[in-house]
Amino acid sequence: MLTNSAERYGAVSRLLHWLMALLILAMIGIGAYMTDLDKEDPLRAQLFTLHKEIGVTILALAVIRILWILVSRPPVMPAALQRWEVVLAKSTVGLLYLLMLATPIAGYLLTNTGGKPISYFGLFDLPSLMAKNHDLHETLEEVHQFLAFSILALVGLHFAGALKHRFLDKDPEADVLKRML
66 found inside a domain: yes
Average pLDDT, the chain: 95
The pLDDT, as a whole number, for residue 170 is: 81
4 found inside a domain: no
Cα 126 to Cα 178: distance, rounded to the nearest angstrom: 39
> 105 and 38 in contact (C-beta within 8 Å)?
no
Three-state secondary-structure class, residue 6: coil
Total count of domains within the chain: 1
31 found inside a domain: yes
List per-residue pLDDT tens for the chain, 181 residues long.
999 999 999 999 999 999 999 999 999 999 999 999 999 999 999 999 999 999 999 999 999 999 999 999 999 999 989 999 999 999 999 999 999 999 999 999 999 999 999 999 999 999 999 999 999 999 999 999 999 999 999 999 999 999 998 898 887 877 888 888 8
Between CA 101 and CA 6, with CA 98 as vertex, the angle to 5 degrees is 110
171 found inside a domain: yes
Stated pTM of the model: 0.93
Query: What CATH number does the domain containing 32 carry?
Result: 1.20.950
